[in-house]
Chain A
């Protein structure tokens, strides 16, 4: 058993034990009476938990809202109980390391619900199960509600962030910032939803719960389909770009390799998931403009004339013009049109220099150059990796961004893209 798995097991076990202890202590202070409403809340929460929506590296479901509504309706103990029990069925369905992940999820979700519940109570929130809010009481609920949301969010993201940090050996803060900060608006919306649900159930009982959940489940259906299509969008582009490139023996697979290099560099530089997604698409499409250039020029084996060179230099602009017609891709236009800019401002395009070139385009530039140099062309044979790395380091600071070159060579030295010569290390001399 690896040290990493051991640490994860220990962490998951401690989380579950803490949750059991915290829930027992809360139940000792405030035990909710078993009721059809409590059972209905558990069932709805469990049902929505087994139907989550997959986001980048995590899943979200409306369970959060249902569990928070249980807290608002019946108090922290009921909230913890509904959360803990409803998390069990979904945990049993986890395919990879079910015991480890399942017990961790049940534990951390229960702890988060209890924390949110206690902050809610301390901030002056009352259980709405006794009597629903009247209109004038609504503004006074905002502080307890915010407390509930913040308390639950902090505990939940701290535990999940720590788990991911241990597993991926990444600093906790890096994980936390890249994985959770962008979910804050969604969490705030879920808190408002929880209050609305609690109020509806307090007013109309279980029928209110059913009426409330139906539109949410439908919204979830639409959203899940959207996420699925969004996830597979890059695959669609990849398949079609591959067909375009397949017509030229020399560029076959070029864009896909550039995408792989670019995504790796972006990850190492700590860019956010959304930026990484856009970089991948830009890399797949960066040479699309070559369809507007005569194949006799692209495949010419002798030196190009000035006129032919000017035509080649048009491809970033042609590519940008093609994709600006697709609203979903319009934000990639500056990246594609700038992928042949140089740090010293002598590249082609708009002669941008330094930081004025978007970081995504600078990444594309390095990845594109590396793949071009290590591939055969009609006018020259492929260069070796050692020679290519030498060339990249030689041009760093003038043609390429030094930090990006350094990051990329580090990745190559780690053997991410095939075997690297032994002893590749980044040194000041090399870069």
Chain B
């Protein structure tokens, strides 16, 4: 089924707003020295941007955009970003279009404009970067100011990307930002360091200095890509093996996938974020792996019996085990985090709704979850099941 893609009105507004403000800021009358090198670096990094499974990117090029901001005027940087994006989108076969590039580009553009304004109160030149291009040794407070601007730039760009993604996917903005905070903080620090370093090294070594920054960013990119790839490998392997398991039992094909899909939708609607959604999905897929067919009379009556035992030895699924344990024994009052209880309640509600669990299993856990969450989850599950039956 083709997914409806809304017109990227937020991204376009941000982009045009940044361009409008940038047009009023003072700029250089001609292209500054070294711009071409920066353009080449930006294009290489934009070509290397990492596309996340949810459709947006982790902008590896932002660090160099920050470096350019510290050296050139705002208008030059904005034009460079658009040119580099065009170059990066040009190669045939990349499969990326302007629509998909807009979120990161607009986030970068807004961050460039905002941070160029921040350079003034911090005592750095706002447009021409005279301080850095002068080649003078920086004082400690000037280093501190640079680091502050770098962090502001990277944090703003990262947060804007999260907001755009949340708006596009109709998810709560706050939880989207908080949910990505754990890895976001690392990326922000890394982007700020690499960006400042690029500017500092460029003023001492010219294009060779830029190579240092680009190589550093590419090293980060490579390790991030490897991590994403192995996570995708786990994801598809678990999907395939669960399907294989279900293929052994007539009547059970697709049950886990349907359960997982409903759980993910409910979780997203009530504001769960990245890893929470992921573990909810894995828990739904794996709930049935422990079924003993010689005991179960009905093939559609899933439960988590023995499933937690099977999963607990798997490092990647460590945080899935508590959810399965709660579903296994909802009456067990041993300590469980609020998040564990909420996820387990979604798992069981979705299980009842897809007729894979008995209602009585839900009652015990309902008492342990806050009434607000119960209301929210019940409402979303009800609405989703109703719309599914309307469609069928």
User: In the bound complex, what is the Cα–Cα distance between A325 and B238 (angstroms)?
Assistant: 12
Most chain A CB neighbours (cut-off 10 Å) among B217, B248, B311: B248
B232-273: CB near A (< 8 Å → 1, else 0) gives: 111011101111110110000000000000000000000000
Contact B240 A322 (CB under 8 A): yes
Q: Is B51 an interface residue when CB atoms closer than 8 A count as contact?
A: no
Q: Is A390 an interface residue when CB atoms closer than 8 A count as contact?
A: no
Stretch at the interface among A4-12, A113-121, A155-163, A203-211: A203-211
Tell me the smallest distance from the CB of A237 to a CB of chain B, in Å: 6
Contact B316 A232 (CB under 8 A): yes
Tell me the smallest distance from the CB of A283 to a CB of chain B, in Å: 15
The verdict on A221 contacting B230 (CB below 8 Å), with A236-B237, A236-B316, A239-B310 known, is no
User: In the bound complex, what is the Cα–Cα distance between A207 and B244 (angstroms)?
Assistant: 55
Contact A212 B207 (CB under 8 A): no
Contact A322 B220 (CB under 8 A): no
Contact B230 A200 (CB under 8 A): no
Residue in A196, A208, A219, A295 whose CB lies within 8 Å of B223:
A219
Tell me the smallest distance from the CB of B238 to a CB of chain A, in Å: 7
Residue in A199, A219, A327 whose CB lies within 8 Å of B201:
A199
User: In the bound complex, what is the Cα–Cα distance between A106 and B122 (angstroms)?
Assistant: 46
Residue in A214, A242, A322 whose CB lies within 8 Å of B190:
A214
Q: Is B349 an interface residue when CB atoms closer than 8 A count as contact?
A: no
Contact B236 A325 (CB under 8 A): yes
- A residues contacting the other copy or chain, number (CB 8 A): 55
Tell me the smallest distance from the CB of A198 to a CB of chain B, in Å: 11
Residue in A134, A295, A328 whose CB lies within 8 Å of B205:
A134
The verdict on A241 contacting B216 (CB below 8 Å), with A233-B230, A291-B247, A292-B247 known, is no
Contact B237 A237 (CB under 8 A): yes
Q: Is A235 an interface residue when CB atoms closer than 8 A count as contact?
A: yes
User: In the bound complex, what is the Cα–Cα distance between A241 and B244 (angstroms)?
Assistant: 9
User: In the bound complex, what is the Cα–Cα distance between A214 and B197 (angstroms)?
Assistant: 11
Most chain A CB neighbours (cut-off 10 Å) among B189, B205, B222: B205
Residue in A189, A214, A244, A329 whose CB lies within 8 Å of B244:
A244
Contacts of A237-268 to chain B: CB distance below 8 A: 237, 239-244, 247
Contact A222 B205 (CB under 8 A): no
Contact A226 B226 (CB under 8 A): yes
Contact A221 B236 (CB under 8 A): no
Q: Is A29 an interface residue when CB atoms closer than 8 A count as contact?
A: no
Q: Which residue of B lies closest to A288 (CB)?
A: B244
User: In the bound complex, what is the Cα–Cα distance between A295 and B249 (angstroms)?
Assistant: 10
User: In the bound complex, what is the Cα–Cα distance between A239 and B320 (angstroms)?
Assistant: 14
Using Cβ atoms and an 8 Å threshold, which residues of chain B touch A236? 234, 237-238, 314-317
Tell me the smallest distance from the CB of B53 to a CB of chain A, in Å: 13
Most chain A CB neighbours (cut-off 10 Å) among B222, B232, B241, B314: B241
Using Cβ atoms and an 8 Å threshold, which residues of chain A touch B206? 135
Using Cβ atoms and an 8 Å threshold, which residues of chain A touch B33? none
Contact B236 A328 (CB under 8 A): yes
User: In the bound complex, what is the Cα–Cα distance between A220 and B143 (angstroms)?
Assistant: 25
Contacts of A289-323 to chain B: CB distance below 8 A: 291-292, 295, 322-323
User: In the bound complex, what is the Cα–Cα distance between A192 and B201 (angstroms)?
Assistant: 15
Tell me the smallest distance from the CB of B190 to a CB of chain A, in Å: 4
Q: Which residue of A lies closest to B63 (CB)?
A: A215
Tell me the smallest distance from the CB of A322 to a CB of chain B, in Å: 6
Contact B247 A222 (CB under 8 A): no
Q: Is B200 an interface residue when CB atoms closer than 8 A count as contact?
A: yes
Contact A215 B219 (CB under 8 A): yes
Using Cβ atoms and an 8 Å threshold, which residues of chain B touch A239? 310-311, 313-314
User: In the bound complex, what is the Cα–Cα distance between A21 and B286 (angstroms)?
Assistant: 60
Contact B289 A196 (CB under 8 A): no
Contact B193 A326 (CB under 8 A): no
B316-344: CB near A (< 8 Å → 1, else 0) gives: 11000000000000000000000000000
Q: Is A133 an interface residue when CB atoms closer than 8 A count as contact?
A: yes
The verdict on A215 contacting B227 (CB below 8 Å), with A203-B201, A291-B244 known, is no
The verdict on A199 contacting B205 (CB below 8 Å), with A212-B197, A229-B234, A291-B244 known, is yes
User: In the bound complex, what is the Cα–Cα distance between A134 and B311 (angstroms)?
Assistant: 57
Q: Is A31 an interface residue when CB atoms closer than 8 A count as contact?
A: no
Using Cβ atoms and an 8 Å threshold, which residues of chain B touch A216? 216, 219
Using Cβ atoms and an 8 Å threshold, which residues of chain B touch A199? 201, 205, 212
Contact A214 B200 (CB under 8 A): no
Q: Is A225 an interface residue when CB atoms closer than 8 A count as contact?
A: yes
Contact B240 A326 (CB under 8 A): yes
Q: Which residue of B lies closest to A192 (CB)?
A: B215
Q: Is A58 an interface residue when CB atoms closer than 8 A count as contact?
A: no
Q: Is B196 an interface residue when CB atoms closer than 8 A count as contact?
A: yes
User: In the bound complex, what is the Cα–Cα distance between A325 and B233 (angstroms)?
Assistant: 10
Q: Which residue of B lies closest to A138 (CB)?
A: B208
User: In the bound complex, what is the Cα–Cα distance between A214 and B248 (angstroms)?
Assistant: 50
Contacts of B78-122 to chain A: CB distance below 8 A: none
Using Cβ atoms and an 8 Å threshold, which residues of chain B touch A225? 227
The verdict on A228 contacting B315 (CB below 8 Å), with A199-B212, A200-B201, A216-B219 known, is yes
Tell me the smallest distance from the CB of B311 to a CB of chain A, in Å: 7
Q: Is B204 an interface residue when CB atoms closer than 8 A count as contact?
A: yes
Q: Which 6 A-B pairs have the closest CB atoms?
A: A328-B233, A222-B223, A232-B315, A214-B193, A223-B223, A240-B241
Binding site for A on B (CB under 8 A): 138, 140, 143, 186-187, 189-190, 193-194, 196-197, 200-201, 204-209, 211-212, 215-217, 219-220, 222-224, 226-227, 229-234, 236-238, 240-245, 247-248, 289-290, 293, 310-311, 313-317
Beyond A218-B187, A322-B240, list 20 extra A-B contacts (CB 8 Å). Answer: A193-B215, A200-B212, A203-B201, A203-B204, A211-B193, A212-B193, A214-B189, A215-B193, A219-B219, A219-B223, A235-B315, A236-B238, A242-B310, A244-B245, A244-B248, A247-B293, A291-B248, A326-B237, A326-B240, A328-B230
Q: List 6 A-B contacts (CB under 8 A).
A: A134-B205, A203-B204, A221-B186, A235-B314, A241-B241, A322-B243
